[in-house]
Amino acid sequence: MKAAVNQKLTEMGERDRLKELLRAKLTECGWKDQMKAHCKEVIKQKGLEHVTVEDLVVEITPKGRGTDHCCLTSALITAPGRPPSTSR
Amino acid sequence: MKMEDMPLSGPDNTKLESLVHDIYSELVEDACLGLCFEVHRAVKQGYFFLDETDQESMKEFEIVDQPGVDIFGQVYNQWKNKECECPNCKRLIAASRFAPHLEKCLGMGRNSSRIANRRLASNNNMSKSESDQEDNDDLNDNDWSYGAEKKAKKRKSDKNQNSPRRSKSMKHKNGELGTIVTSEPYKYNFNTGISYETLGPDEVRSLLTTQCGVISEHTKKMCTRPTLPDADPVVENDGFDIPDGQTLMSRLQWEDSSDISPTDSASSKASTNPSDSRRPKKKKRPSLGLNSGGGGGGGGGSSSLTGGSSSSQSNISLSTKKKRPKLSAPSIPSIYDDLN
């Protein structure tokens, strides 16, 4: 069922819309800057020259997931202006 | 498929929530990945740490968070209570009032000249000085008034000497009125008003030969329009409702008027007739010409007037006064009374 939902979302373009919306909200609430600061620390730790994408991802993602999402979840769900969709 | 349209029953609800949560975390992971790519690219391109300079500058421009000071560390009302010394008058002026004070003090602002002139005008009016007529003529409008109080503001003779406008207006009007002005070295003050009664006969004559002289009832101003010797009678007549303007002129012609030749010839002809017929219409005009007839003699065709001294003036003034017959009636007769 989850696959079906995902597929539907993608088809309708809702997924992309949600993604953009999420990005905007994260930036707005400062999540992005927080993450960036964390990145800086990681980079300073690891050294500027040898940082790889994988390193960053490994460091950032759990932290990113851990910081407060709950409000964002509901905000995303009840986001205004959601276009009407066909029933499942 | 709208999420919020999902039925929120028990089992479905949890399913829904978990579904939502899953989708959400996927989106968040996507965002994180995006961020990582961004940072990695910045690092590899070398612009990631650009906003961080050396420690010294960082300390210098740190954000300040103290009370009474803005984030740059500057005090808000630092200059509020300071006093500045005016270079002109050497007084201590508050900082916020300094600029307007300078404007007035140096006499260079927009309003400073206006205020100064008004002040000077009122001062001069108090002392009843009679200013130079030339200035008044040049800078006034065509009218000058009786009432001193009313026209105090229009006195321009005492305006700021360095004002650019002054030189402009002087140059502009000198050509027009210069000649007239120089020929009339009167002592009375144009601005403070003129009364024909106060002037002597010679003054009145010379005044009225060169200017219109009509005094407006409404504004009590005398018209200073320069008169042209022979052109006006003909021109003015066109505006009349009288068919025979020439005869009218002649009716009011004084005997020894030598300036106006066209009307001279007619004077002897139409001495009495037109006047009678026109009396109802032109009550006031005849009164202009009358004086020797004894007082404001409303009626009479007194073309054969003897008080010739002011004949020429009356002709000219009449010709130019034809457009305003009523206005001149009240005052003129009294003047001519005096002459007799």
Name the percent of chain B lying above pLDDT 90. Answer: 0
- How distant, in Å, are the alpha carbons of A4, B2, B10, B19 from that of B13? 18, 14, 5, 10
Which stretch of A28-37, A59-68, B38-47, B177-186 has the lowest confidence by average pLDDT? B177-186
Euclidean distance between CA atoms B45 and B39, whole angstroms: 10
Q: Comparing B38 with B255, which gets the higher pLDDT?
A: B38
CB contact under 8 A, A73 and B2: no
**Position with higher pLDDT, A22 vs B158:** A22
Report the pLDDT averaged over residues A43-55: 80
Of A20-34, A47-61, B73-87, B249-263, the least confident: B249-263
Q: Which residues on A lie below 8 Å from B22 (Cβ)?
A: 2
Residue of B15, B28, B37 for testing the chain A interface, max A β-carbons within 10 Å: B28
Give per-residue pLDDT as tens, B162-171: 555 554 555 5
| Closest CA relative to residue A31, chosen from B24, B30, B39, B32 | B32
Q: With 80 as the cut, is the pLDDT of residue B286 above it?
A: no
Q: According to the model, what pLDDT value does residue B189 have?
A: 43
Q: How much is the pLDDT for B13? A: 76
- The SS3 of residue B92 is strand
B85 has which bridge partners?
Answer: B92
The whole-number pLDDT of residue B143 equals 53
Residue B210, pLDDT > 50, answer yes
Contacts of A5 in chain B (CB under 8 A): 1, 19, 23
pLDDT greater at residue A26 or residue B198: A26
The residue of chain B with its CA nearest to that of A44 is B49
Q: How far is A2 from chain B (nearest CA, A)?
A: 7
Residue pairs between chains A and B whose CB atoms are closer than 8 Å = 85
- pLDDT category at B117 given cuts 50, 70, 90 is confident
Residues of chain B with C-beta less than 8 angstroms from the C-beta of A85: 1-2
Is the confidence at residue B211, as pLDDT, over 70? yes
| Band (B181; pLDDT cuts 50, 70, 90) | very low
B4 touches chain A (CB under 8 A): yes
The residue-averaged pLDDT of B99-118 equals: 81
Model confidence at B95: pLDDT above 60 = yes
Beta bridge partners of B305: B254
Q: Which of A8, A40, A57 sits opposite B33 (nearest CB)?
A: A57
Out of A15-29, B60-74, B182-196, least confident range: B182-196
Q: Can you tell me which residue has the tokens 């140096």?
A: B106
Six-digit token pair at B120? 């000077």
pLDDT for position B46: 84
Complex ipTM more than 0.90, yes or no: no
As a whole number, the mean pLDDT across chain B is: 63
- Give residue B195's pLDDT: 64
Whole-Å CA distances, B298 to B165, B176, B233, B275, B279 = 48, 37, 22, 11, 8
- Predicted confidence at residue B139, as pLDDT, reads 52
Q: Answer whether A85 sits within 8 Å of B31, measured CB to CB.
A: no
State the pLDDT confidence band at B281, using cuts at 50, 70 and 90.
Answer: very low
- Residues 6 or more apart in contact with residue B35 via CB below 8 angstroms: A32, A35, A36, A39, A60, A64
| Whole-number pLDDT of residue B185 | 44
What average pLDDT does this structure show over B109-132?
75
Write out residues 27-86 of A within 8 Å (CB-CB) of B. Answer: 32, 35-36, 39-40, 43, 48, 51-53, 56-57, 60-61, 64-65, 69, 72-73, 76-78, 82, 84-86
Return the bridge partners of B94, or none. B83
Q: Residue B20: its pLDDT value, please?
A: 80
pLDDT of residue B168: 52
